[in-house]
Structure formats: structure tokens, C-alpha cells
Amino acid sequence: MEKLARDLKLSSRQIRRAIRQEFGVSPIELAQTQRLLLAKQLLAESNLPIIDVAYASGFASVRRFNALFQSHYRLTPSRMRRATGASQSTGRLQLTLGYRPPLAWDLLLGFLAGRATAGVEWTSERTYYRTASIGSHHGWIKVQPIVGRNALGVELATSLVPVLPEVLTRLKNLFDLSARPDAIATQLAAEPRMKSAVARLPGLRVPGAFDGFEMAVRAILGQRISVRGATTLAGRVAGSFGEVLDTPFPSLCRLAPTALRLASARESELTALGISAARAGCIKALAQAVASGQIDLQPGLDPESVIPALRELPGIGDWTAQVIAMRALRWPDAFPAGDLGLLRALGATSPRRLLDVAAAWRPWRAYAAMYIWQCQNLQEPQNALHQPENCHEPE
């Protein structure tokens, strides 16, 4: 609680009061409810042993888990397991993640596919695959839509079960599953410039990040070069600095490089991969800041403090900082006003003028930017991967 309060720049008393006002329970009661809901899902959808269900749900004591479960649901975990009769393949776990419809899955997957890091990410048909590393736990993840349901099917290696709550949270952030498409579309469509785009692309999401540092490095690599070129460089970085991982999928063989690993890399090792000296220095500076705890790229942190810290690093300007805030921090009002595509689409003569235009879209400017970018890609799909991601960052 104290760490959360520091991250949000609030007192623990303020957080307790806000949670009580919003949910009618204390923070510990809210946490327990979330753990019980996950435990119920695991009992219903998996064949994990009950002791593993308890720990995977965030309980430190099986006895405490059994007592809370019985008091909350009026039956024991074993009785619920017998009622559901869940059965799954050994070595992998299958779960579902719900969302508020509609969800423009094909556009979301297309965005991620164009930026997929070789060895770390892979897309096939309507399915997304990736490797994952959280603490000392490594594994793989597969995600695809479930036909006829407002849910995504998630399959993952059982090696990730000990960190399952964080895995699921990261996937929700990556696919923007907590979005309210109805509220977002209603406000944006009220502005004449956005009305047709919103009608054309129902359920559009802002792609997030499974790992904030991983995404931030990809944003730096995308400065002044094409999407395809930046994706190629990201694959080289993963191949050189990412840990090897065995998976059932030949296209998944590397973990994303950690901040600690890139912080210790020599700039010459990065430039040897075809990365410019300026970008190499920027990546190394970011890695050192994240590894030391100077900069935290966790979702939900105050963007007004993280963005200035990012901009103090050499080679990071407003475009990169805003895109990181949009995707890694999950700030729905992030807006890269210096983006050439946005400037051209709206006929704005300067970033300041574009910010004036975008004021009507607050607090959903990140979604407005995504609508504009996606409409541009739909108009010229053959050029989407060859266009520069931006042209406004310092060398």
C-alpha cells in the first residue's frame, strides 16, 4: 500500500478512502475478492492442483485460501472443481479474458504483427504468440479470439503459473481489454473530424505493451526509419541480447532483452547491429535509468512525472515520450502532437495548432491518434510498413 501510494503521489489514507468510496470495501477486501475470482476461474477452466490454484491466485497460505473461498462461495474449492470437471493438456494452461465489445481484433493484431520482434513475438492468422519473462519465471503465451464470445482464449506454459496474475494483467494492458469502447466512441464521434473514422472502425483499441521497457526500446528504434526497418533492428537486438528459450513454436526462441542486460552493453555492440550511434546511446541511457529505478514504466503511473523524466534522456523527444506514455503507461490522453501523419491528416501547420484541434478529444486523445493512423493505413496498406514512424525526434 505504501509503495502504491508513493507511485501515485498520494497518501495511503487517500487511497483507502478512494477505494472505499468507489467499491464500498477496504483495499484488502478488494484484493481478496480479485484473488478469489481468479481462483474460481482456475478451478473452472484448468486442472491445476488446488494448492497451485491457491498460490497462482496470490494467496500465501492454502489454509487461508480454503477458509476465504468457503466463506465467500459457500462451498469448498474441491467441490467446485468436481462440479466443473475441468481438464487440460499437461504442460500448458488455458484461460479466458473477457472484454467489452466490440473489439477490432484484426486491426489490433495487424498493428502488433507489423512491429513483432523476431524470436520474441509471432503472429499467425488471427493468433498472437510471444515469450514472457517475469522475475525468474519464463515461458510462452498464445492468444486468439473465441468465436461467438466476447473473450480471448489464452494458452500459456505452466512455468508461468506462479506469476499468473501479473501475466493476465499484462495481457489486458497489451490488448487494451479494459477499454470502454462505447464511452470513447460517443465522445470522439461528437467531433466532426472524427465521426467517420469512429463509424468506420468500431471497437478500435490502443495497443499497449506486455513489458514497458521492451516497448520503449522499440519506440526508440522507430525514430526516423520505417516500421519495417525498426522491426528488423528489434529482431537483431533480441537475437544478440535476449536469452534463449525453448518453446513448442519454432518462431519463438528468445526472451526480450532486459534493462539490466542492455545497460551493461557497449554502444559499439549496438551500432554493430545497424543502429545509429545516437539511438544506441539513447537505448543505453534508458536501460540504465530503468535498471537503476530512476524511471519506472509500469502502467498507471503519473505520466506528468514520467514524460519529463524520459525527455531528459539523450535522444528522447516529445514524440517518443508520448508514444511510451500511450502504450507502456496506458495513458488514454497521450498525444504525439509532433507526428507527421497526424499533422498531415488534420491539415495542422504546427504541433501547437494540432494540440488546439485535439483539445476536443480529451481525455481520449490516444484513441483519436490511433483512429487517424489506422485510417491512413487502410487508405494506403501497401505503404504502411515502409512509412517512417515519426520524423520529429532529435539526433
Residues labelled as active-site residues = 339
Q: Which residue has the cell 481520449?
A: 364
Which residue pairs, CB below 8 angstroms and at least 24 apart, start in 382-389? Answer: 384/114, 384/227, 385/114, 385/226, 385/227, 385/228, 385/231, 386/226, 386/227, 386/228, 387/226, 387/227, 387/341, 388/224, 388/225, 388/226, 388/340, 389/219, 389/222, 389/223, 389/225, 389/226, 389/227, 389/230
Helix pair angle (365-379, 192-200), 10° resolution: 60
Q: Which amino acid is at 387?
A: Q
DSSP labels for 372-387?
HHHHHHHHSGGGTTTS
String of DSSP letters for 267-308: HHHHHTTT--HHHHHHHHHHHHHHHTTSS---TTS-HHHHHH
| Closest alpha carbon to 117 in 248, 212, 215, 213 | 215
Q: DSSP for 313-337, please give it.
A: STT--HHHHHHHHHHTS--TT---T
CA separation for the pair 340, 16 (Å, rounded): 43
Q: Are strands 127-134 and 137-145 parallel, antiparallel or unpaired?
A: antiparallel
What sign does the CA torsion over 21, 334, 262, 293 have?
negative
**How far is it, in rounded angstroms, from Cα 209 to Cα 186?**
26
Set of cell numbers at residue 214: 521492451
**Distance of alpha carbon 203 from alpha carbon 107, whole angstroms:** 10
